[in-house]
Each structure stands twice: as structure tokens, then as C-alpha cells.
Chain A
Amino acid sequence: MSDTGIIPATFTGNRGLAIEEKLIFEQDSPGCCGVDLPEPDAVADRLGGLQRTGDLGLPSLAEPEVVRHFVRLSQKNYAIDTGFYPLGSCTMKYNPRLNEKLARLAGFADLHPLQPRSTVQGALELIETLSHWLQVLTGMPAFAMSPAAGAQGELCGIMCIRAALEDRGDPRRRVLVPGSAHGTNPATAAACGYEVEQIPSNPRGRIDSTVLKAKLGDDVAAIMLTNPNTCGLFEDEIIDIAAAVHDAGAFLYCDGANFNAIVGRVRPADLGIDVMQLNLHKTFSTPHGGGGPGSGPVALVKDLAPYAPLPLVVNGADGFRLIEHAVAEGEGAKTIGRLRGFHGQIGVFVRALAYMMSLGSDGLRQAADDAVLAANYLLVRLQDTLTLPYPGPCMHEVLFDDGFLHDTGVTTLDFSKALIDEGFHPTTIYFPLDVHGAMLTEPTETESKASLDQFIATVKALAARAKSGDAEFFTDAPRRAPRRRLDETKAARHPVLRWRRDHDDPGDVEGAAGG
């Protein structure tokens, strides 16, 4: 039974503060403009006959209309600022506002990347300082700072491995990836020309080291391991695995997406890891922004450091400088080249460094402790309600499966949609792939105990309801979100990927009237 069955529909389709909002293209007010610009001086143009002609088709709106439009859109999003967002492996922790303030300092934000180096010493110092913090926290001797996000960091890492192996005259052919890995891992290995071979998990939710060792051979370039892994567990055989990988002449890549669990407590270098990306938007609190921008600095052992992508920051007697091009000898001679324009996600670096300085050596460790504490608290309080595929203790996230929904007619997806109605963001669902109906739950350290308790109570109530036979409550959910379930099959079968003036809009409640 939906709301509309109980509450009469409104004329507008709006529901109080939940206001329907058309596309900007449907709000065209010809003659309006949201920016006042002077008519340019009359000068003979030098476009060489390549003037654009015809209307671009962009709508005309005044500033108040634009502001209202995007405020209304914002109100249709769930966010960390709104509530509990336990999206596993994404580390949806609080994003401090100090970081935003500092990233906007003109001395960082209003810098051109190709200014003379005498005018950007502070910016280069920022990159070096962040690199230093990351080196201390990981124990790794070098960082490639330029990768634009975690996935690009993975690409950087595997490319460095390949370049090092080719340098040895031994390029090799295969990369081993656990079945529980993020999809970016196999996609990255393939993008570097490697065949991907999957390694299963053992009954303890860790990589099966026996299978792994059996697959190691002289054509294996690397293994990509996530630690803590995507089941929320520490790979407790990692030191032994690293030794085996090294004995086989291969490299150990660690996906550092889950570094938040161990920062300040464990140094990846001490685990035998050769290369690892860090997602600054996860562990170091920079905003996820609806899907970026991220930043993915890559830790490199000594043997891989010479292959780091350009540019490199060098601290010399006469200050900081950048190496922006491959050179014949010395630093930069063996680089894999460039992965993006200019120098790195500087705006993200400022935020991450502000966060690290705010928490400091003690606070970063406390944050990891609290994240692990919160996840284990959820594990223990919910283990008799939901089902645990692997026993704890877990690290910063806890994995449940859908065993508790057996014979209820309710799926993991349905259960998640009911959580939406209760005011929570669902957990990561159906990932990792090797657990049935996975619910990967990462509370992070920035939730209060009251918030965790409310989530626990809600999940218990929902689970009881599912077991009571009220499947429809779940299969119909969500009822109270800005939209009910959306038809993804239709979207994929008949893709409508942009607005067109002549496009007939079946869902438009008010007809075609403009704003």
C-alpha cells in the first residue's frame, strides 16, 4: 500500500518539502541570463572562418532560478551530512568543513599549474608534505602522487610492475586476483595487457593461499590483494603470501581502499607489500562528491620507485622543483610516463593534509580503532539477527549475507530498500561477489554510539518483520523516497541519455509549461 493510496495526490505532484523539479532544459526563459557580461568591444575576429553558427540549445535562466533548481536537486540526495551511510568499502566518513575552507585559499585554488616555480614553492611543499605523511603511515619509501583516483592508482601500480618486469627482460603474462576483489582490479590488470586469473576465498573468507601458491609460477607478474579484504577481514597469512610471491619473482599489489582500518597501527611495508594505492577520499576524508573527484597516490617499494609516473617533485638545495618529462638518465629516466594532465589532485591534497594534521599521529590511530570498534559492535549486536558468512573479529566493515532471509520472499535488495524508508543509506549490496546476497556494512568512526544503536534496532525490527511473512512491505519499498523503484531494465534497453527538445516525457506531471 503506497502513500498515494492513503493520502490524496496533490495538484502539482509535490509533497510538501519534496518538490518535483524539471530539467533545466524544460525551464527555458528566453532573454534571461544568470551571468552579466558586457558586450565585447568590436574587434575584427581572427577565427579564420570557423565561427560557430546557430543556437547552442542551452536554456536561459536567471540566477535565482538556477540556485533554486540545484538546491531542489540537492534535496533529493542522501548524504553523509543527512545520516548514517554504511556503504561498505567506500568509507563514508564525515567530511570536515575546515578542509573545504583551506582548499579554497587563493594560494592553492587560484594557482596555474605552469606558473614559474619560484611562484609555487608552497604548492610543491604541500605535495611533498603529504607524501611524507603517507610514507610514514605506510612505511613505504616512495609515493607517486599524480593518480587521479583509486582506479588510476591501480593502473599506475600495475604499470610500474610491468615496466620493472620488462626492464628485467621478463614481462610475464598473468595477474592473480581474488574473487572478492573490487572490479577495478581485474579491469586494471587487463588494461595493462595481463591475463587475469581468479583465486577463490577459503572457508575463513581469506584468499586461499594453497591455491594461490599452486598458481604462482614464472609467468605471474603480480597478485592484487585487498587488505583488509572486501569481506572486512585481515588477510592474516599476508606475510607468508608476500614471501611466496617474491620467491616466484612476482610483485604483491595491495588495494589500499580499506586502509582506514589499520592506519596508525599497521604499516603496509611491514606486510611485504610492494605497491599500494591509497584512496584519499576514503581514508583521509576528502568528499566523495557524488562520485569524485578522488585521488589515488601510490606507495612504491624501492625497486618500483624509478618507474613512478610524471611529474615528480624534487626537493633540492634551491627549493622544490618538478620533473615533468622523461630524461635520459637520473630521476625520471624509467618513468611509465604520464597518466593525467599536470601534477595531481592538488585540491584534494589540501583537504587530505588538513585532515591528517587535524587528527595527527594519535588521532589517525584512534580513528582506525573507532572504525574497527564500531564495525565489531555491529557484528556482535546483529550476528543473531542477520547471518555472518565468516566469524569475527572483523576490521572496519562487517559482511553479512542473506541467509537470514531464507524462505521469507525478501531479498537483500528488498531489505535495503526498506532501510531507505527508515532513513538510512543501505549497505553495499551484492558485493563481494562470492557471498550470497552480500550486505557489506561499514559504519566508520564518525558515527556516535546512539547512531549505531538506532541502526541496530532498525535492522532488528526489519528482520523480524521479514521473518513474520510481510514480504510485501519489503518488495514495495521504498515508499517514502523521492522516487520509488526505478526501471533499470527499461533504462538499459531503450537508452535515453540526454534531453532532446522533441523528446516526449511520460513522467512529466505538469505537461510542457516552462519555468
Chain B
Amino acid sequence: MRYLPLAGADRSDMLDAIGVKSIEDLFADVPVAARIDKPFDLPPHSGEIEVERALAAMAAKNVSAGTVPCFLGAGAHRHHIPAAVDHLVQRGEFLTSYTPYQPEISQGTLQFLYEFQTQVALITAMDVANASMYDGASATAEAVMMARRITGRDKVVVSAGLHPHYRDCVTSFAQFIGVKIVAPPPNPAPQFEGAVELATLLDEATACVVVQNPDVFGRLQDFTPLARHCHDIGALLVVAVSEVISLGCVRPPGEMDADIVVAEGQSLGNPMNFGGPYVGLFASRDEFVRQMPGRISGETTDIEGRRGWVLTLATREQHIRRQKATSNICTNSGLCALAFTIHLALLGSVGFERLARINHHRAVKCADALAGVPGCDVITEHFFNEFTVKLSKPATDVADDLADKGVLGGVPVSRLYPEVEGFENLLLVAASETNSDADITALVQALGDVL
């Protein structure tokens, strides 16, 4: 058993030193009724070859997105990850360390987290960010809880453009603590009119409004007027971003006067992984920092005056505050945040902005090409790298037929909203820098055949 360094003589020597006859003596506190003395009904240990074979066989039953033209988005996006990212995150000093409780020997983690926080603050145009959350959806729920603490109010208005997974997390987190959620029904109209409707739902009991940009249908919207409405009535504006690459060329939430920004950071540095692990971004204004959830790295000096970093403002956190903590979060997404940080460091301002423009232009090209397919209407006017099309047939059938033809053509909207009638024929199509002209041609041809 290759992971166990104790050899036979070591075990008996150690038992002798302890003064017991057998290992069973060390389990003496376990009630006899609960001791299992026979092997569990599971396979015995295996060598690397056998384990590789078994898991490779499972992996081979999947169609990996990189082997076909892939136009799937809706909160998880396929982007190219520079080779240096994965090399660096596999360094044992990052991979096999833990939460930096001992800062003197954790400066590597603390410094990259500080760099991560700075990057997140810059791209969202916010004052301050934390050291990551689990993902965009759960971060949105945490943002709502934070708005509730800040305002002391219990009503939350959720935009119909918010990704339903994000919306559902808010609902789950809120269900037992007296939070009232108001959520107008989703509507994929070409231009988002929801901000006007949302403003009418605000009142003096409202803690926050949660919107998404680009929204779940791909639409872009200026939320500055909504922010003004929120602030006039003492509520906060929470903006979620499910495709972080958009921040390279779309006006950021901070410039629309958002109070809390949450985002899914997967697109930078992290593979799609069938849905996780991902990395949630969480940014806010300086004045609210002591109400933020999660770890935060802060600058300080050591006793020789040298700059260094520590986990700070820990009095917000569960290990100090226990039931009065701002959140129960403990472990977050450190290594995914590292991948994000490295990828964004490689890109820099110029690379990030260019990557975003490439994404947008691929999507525009794709939308223009699809507009020429009979039975396919592009219904989103303004978008970043994802848009909604209305098909002449149910989108689930079309997506399955496209998969049979070797194209992952889009996400059926009904997969996200099975309960909404009238969405059956809607398909979300996302493009990125990984989609070549040939991919777009393949999608157009396959879709033409299927429809």
C-alpha cells in the first residue's frame, strides 16, 4: 500500500511503546456493538494501473467538450487555459498547504490571495474583495445574507434575468430565516426591460435587488438607474456576473454603482469539470467590509518591518464568532483562486481586454451565421458572448440531435426553466476564443440539417 510508510516492524514497535497488544486495544472506546471486524464489501487495494484503467473507462464514456465544436455556456464556459497555469497550481507548496493559519510560513498563499483580491476589485471596479467563495451561485446567496445584515431588512427582489441556479441558492439559503423573496417571471424579450419593473417592486422593507449582467439570456443592461432607485430607498444593489470574461470589455458593476458584486470565476484558469470545483468572486465597498463573508488577506509588517500578509478581520468569521459569524464558510476555493490569479496575471489589462473582445466577436459572428439558418431566430439584441435563439422545434430535441451529429450546440432554456411554458424552443448559444470559424460552420450546417 504505497501511501502508507509504516512497515510491519514499525507497527509492532509502536504498539510496544504504547504498551498495548494490538491495534484493537486503541479502539477500546468504540462500543462493541459498533465495531466491524470483517472487511467491508468493497474491492481491495489496487495499483496505479488498475485505478487508472477503471477511471479512464468512466472518462471514456463521456464526450469531452474539446473533441467537438462546443457552444455551451449558461454559467460554465469553455476557455483556453495557458499551460503555465496548471503547471503552477500543481506545485506541492500550493497544492498541499492549507488555510494560512501560520502566516510566517504561508506568505505564498497570503500574497497570491492579496493579488487575487486586488484583481477582483479591479475588474469589478469595486473597493475590496474577499479571498473567494465556492462558486458564483452560492456567493450570490451570501451576498443577499450580507445585504440583510447591513440593512436590517428582510425583503429581497430577484431579477428574472438571474441564472436560476443562483436564484435557487438564494431561495434555499433564505427559506428558514424569514426572508421574503419577490421574483418576477423570466422573459427572454430582445431587450431587458426588467429594471423598470424591478424598481416598482422596491419598498422600504427591501434589503437588496439582485440582478445579473449579462443576464441568463445573454442580455446586457445598464443598471445605473436601478442603483439610484435602490439607494434612494435604502436598499443595496447586488450584481452577479456568471461569465467573468465579460468584465474585459463590458462596463463593470462598480461603475453602475453596485454595492455588492458576485461572480463565477471559473472562466479564468479553471476547467469546466462538469460543474465544479469553481471559484466564487465576492466584492463590495469599503464601508461594508466588516459584513463580508469569507477569508480576507491583509497587508501588515513583521517585527523587522518587512511587508507581509495575514488573514485579517477574522472577528467576522465562524472560528472566532461562532453563531454570530457573517457566514459559516471555512474552506473556500483557494487553489481555483490561484488558477484565476495566474491566468489573469498572464493576460494583464491588454490580454484580458483582447480576450473579451475576441469572445464578443466570435459570438457576433456566430449569431450572424445562425440568423441565416431557416427556423432559427436570434432574439437577443445586445450581448457579450452568449445569446438566445428561438428554434422552430423543441430545443432539447435539437440539442440531443446536434450531439448525435457531434456538435454541442447550446443549452436548452427549458433545462434551466422546465416550469415555464413557452421556453421549449429557446436555446442559449455561447461562443468563446476556443470556437474556430470551422466550429461555427459545423454548428450552422448541423442545425440546418436538424431543423
- A contact residues around B169 at 8 Å (CB): 337-341
Tell me if B295 and A291 are in contact (CB < 8 A).
yes
Which residues of B (1-44) have their CB < 8 Å from a CB of A?
A: 1-6, 10-11, 13-15, 17-20, 23, 25-31, 33-36, 39-44
| Interface size of B as a range | 35 or more
The verdict on B207 contacting chain A, using a C-beta distance below 8 Å, is no
Q: What 5 pairs between A and B have smallest CB-CB spacing? A: A507-B307, A107-B59, A342-B275, A48-B382, A289-B335
Tell me if B2 and A79 are in contact (CB < 8 A).
no
Q: Known contacts A292-B277, A361-B42; decide if A265 and B323 are in contact (CB<8 Å).
A: no
Query: 19 other contacts beyond A34-B351, A152-B328, A393-B20, with CB at 8 A cut-off?
Result: A56-B352, A58-B345, A59-B345, A70-B345, A115-B63, A116-B408, A193-B176, A233-B29, A265-B30, A270-B36, A290-B97, A291-B109, A292-B332, A357-B50, A359-B3, A364-B40, A374-B6, A376-B26, A483-B103
How far is the CB of A415 from the nearest CB of chain B, in Å?
13
The verdict on A264 contacting chain B, using a C-beta distance below 8 Å, is yes
- A contact residues around B57 at 8 Å (CB): 122
CA distance A137 to B54 in the complex (A): 20
Q: CB < 8 Å: which of A46, A61, A149, A431 contacts B330?
A: A149
Q: Known contacts A41-B365, A118-B403, A484-B302; decide if A113 and B275 are in contact (CB<8 Å).
A: yes
Which residues of A (338-393) have their CB < 8 Å from a CB of B?
A: 338-348, 350, 353-354, 356-367, 369-370, 372-374, 376-377, 379-381, 393
How far is the CB of A267 from the nearest CB of chain B, in Å?
6
How far is the CB of B255 from the nearest CB of chain A, in Å?
8
- A contact residues around B143 at 8 Å (CB): none
CA distance A423 to B251 in the complex (A): 49
CA distance A63 to B54 in the complex (A): 37
Q: CB < 8 Å: which of B60, B171, B328 contacts A154?
A: B328
The verdict on A248 contacting chain B, using a C-beta distance below 8 Å, is no
Binds A, one of B70-78, B153-161, B225-233: B70-78
- A contact residues around B185 at 8 Å (CB): none
Q: Indicate with 1 or 0, residue by residue over A160-193, a CB within 8 angstroms of chain B CB atoms.
A: 0010000000000000000000111011111111
The verdict on A220 contacting chain B, using a C-beta distance below 8 Å, is no
- A contact residues around B374 at 8 Å (CB): none
Count residues of A near B (Cβ-Cβ below 8 Å). Answer: 211
Tell me if B135 and A73 are in contact (CB < 8 A).
no
Q: Indicate with 1 or 0, residue by residue over B335-362, a CB within 8 angstroms of chain A CB atoms.
A: 1101000101111111111110110111
- A contact residues around B338 at 8 Å (CB): 70, 289-290
Q: CB < 8 Å: which of B134, B307, B361 contacts A149?
A: B134
- B contact residues around A488 at 8 Å (CB): 103, 300, 310, 312
- B contact residues around A338 at 8 Å (CB): 137, 165, 168-169, 171-172
Tell me if A50 and B250 are in contact (CB < 8 A).
yes
Q: CB < 8 Å: which of B35, B138, B303 contacts A485?
A: B303
Max count, chain B CB within 10 A of own CB: residue among A13, A67, A292, A324: A292
Residue of A nearest to B350 (CB): A33
Q: Indicate with 1 or 0, residue by residue over A183-223, a CB within 8 angstroms of chain B CB atoms.
A: 11011111111001000000000000000000000000000
How far is the CB of B259 from the nearest CB of chain A, in Å?
17
Tell me if A236 and B272 are in contact (CB < 8 A).
no
CA distance A287 to B264 in the complex (A): 21
Q: Indicate with 1 or 0, residue by residue over A87-107, a CB within 8 angstroms of chain B CB atoms.
A: 100101111101011101111
Q: CB < 8 Å: which of B15, B128, B134, B315 contacts A498?
A: B128
How far is the CB of A152 from the nearest CB of chain B, in Å?
7
How far is the CB of B64 from the nearest CB of chain A, in Å?
4
The verdict on B200 contacting chain A, using a C-beta distance below 8 Å, is no
CA distance A366 to B36 in the complex (A): 13
Q: Indicate with 1 or 0, residue by residue over A119-134, a CB within 8 angstroms of chain B CB atoms.
A: 1111101100100010
